[in-house]
Amino acid sequence: MLEIVIAGGWGMLPILVCSAIALAITMERFWSLRRDSVMPPGLGDEVRKWAQSRTLDARHLKTLSENSPLGELLAAALAVRNQSRAIIKERLEDAGRHVVHRMERFLNSLGTIALIGPLLGLLGTVIGLIRMFLAVMASGVGDPMKMAGGIGEALICTASGLIVAIPAYVLHRYFRGRVNGYCVEMERQAAALLDTLTTTSARPPVSPRPPVASPPAAPMSARAPR
């Protein structure tokens, strides 16, 4: 394997760097976009129960926000739960943009690697062909080894660029699809919480019923006539 890389010439260097970056991004995204990490099971139901019971404080919101991306989104709505529905919805949209941006981190870099991988291979191919023609100009066509070296360098760079670009493109599309799926489920959870907050705020708090005063007792003279 090392001999093949060396035979590809210096054009293999940027391809190897891109492959290392793509591998690091793939491992990081697989770990960060785990379902239990992004959307813990039962979190939406638990948060809606909190909203109905009205037992929320700053500590609850901080813990919820640091729990997961879904928790951060729901905590943003709970922070303004006493406001109107329009303000809560606007806060959800703002928080949602930040959450989606963090979930899509490094995906642009992965897509860029998928795009430039074949171009880097093509660059190595052109360099290999140039070397071959220079060898032909220097020594003529009598030395087939020099021509074979240039052709081999060109083919190795082309194949290496495609080997890096194809998996990077597939993984880029895969992570994009996973993020889009999470966004749809987060919107559903946010809409359910928004309805719960609207219903809870519209319902007046239950106050204890005041005790009914008993009528004063009649005097003894009025009870039994003489």
pLDDT tens for each residue of 67-123 = 899 999 999 888 888 888 889 899 999 999 999 999 999 999 999 999 999 999 888
Q: What is the pTM of this model?
A: 0.77
Digit-coded pLDDT (tens) for 148-204: 666 777 788 888 899 999 999 999 999 999 999 999 999 999 999 888 888 766 555
| Ranges 8-12, 170-174, 209-213, most confident | 170-174
Helices (H), the chain: 2-7, 12-32, 35-38, 43-53, 58-67, 69-79, 85-103, 107-139, 144-202, 220-223
pLDDT at 205 over 60: no
Helix/strand/coil for 140? helix
What are the C-alpha distances in Å from 134 to residues 21, 67, 143, 166? 34, 62, 12, 32
Residue 56 burial by CB count (10 A; 0-12/13-18/19+): exposed, middle or buried? Answer: middle
